[in-house]
Amino acid sequence: SRFVSWFDPDTETWTLQVKFTRPEDAGRYECQVSTEPKRSHFVTLSVVVPLVVIPGGAELHVRSGSDVMLKCVISKALTPPPYVFWYHVSQNYILLD
């Protein structure tokens, strides 16, 4: 399951882990303690999905022998990615510098 809950007796903490979050996982979560009276606390989870765009459209035409620069613009990311892979799709290999 993508949802796992466990108790750590050393810290007396219950943890809910959501693996491989999806946009539909966003929402309000409740930690409810089975005491009398019932106690609970809420947290709102937002799932941020980065937006990736290559400016200039899906097709670029260049003259043979000329230089070309392709840019990959990433926005709405909480932190910048540590690296980006470029693939030449029809050749099936990774382009690295």
Domains in the chain with CATH codes? 3-45 (2.60.40.10)
Q: What is the pLDDT of residues 17-71, one digit of tens each?
A: 999 999 999 999 999 998 999 999 999 999 999 999 999 888 989 999 999 999 9
Q: What's the pLDDT score for residue 10?
A: 98
Q: Is the pLDDT of residue 86 over 70?
A: yes
Instruction: Look at residue 96 and tell me whether its pLDDT is greater than 70.
Output: no
What average pLDDT does the segment 84-89 reach? 84
Name the pTM for this structure.
0.63
Q: Which residues pair with 44 in a beta bridge?
A: 28
What's the confidence (pLDDT) of residue 57? Answer: 82
Q: Residue 22: which of 6, 38, 45, 5 has the closest Cα?
A: 45
Bridge pairing between strands 13-18 and 27-33: unpaired
Asked whether the beta carbons of 64 and 55 are under 8 A apart, the reply is no
C-alpha dihedral (4, 11, 41, 19), degrees to nearest 10: -20
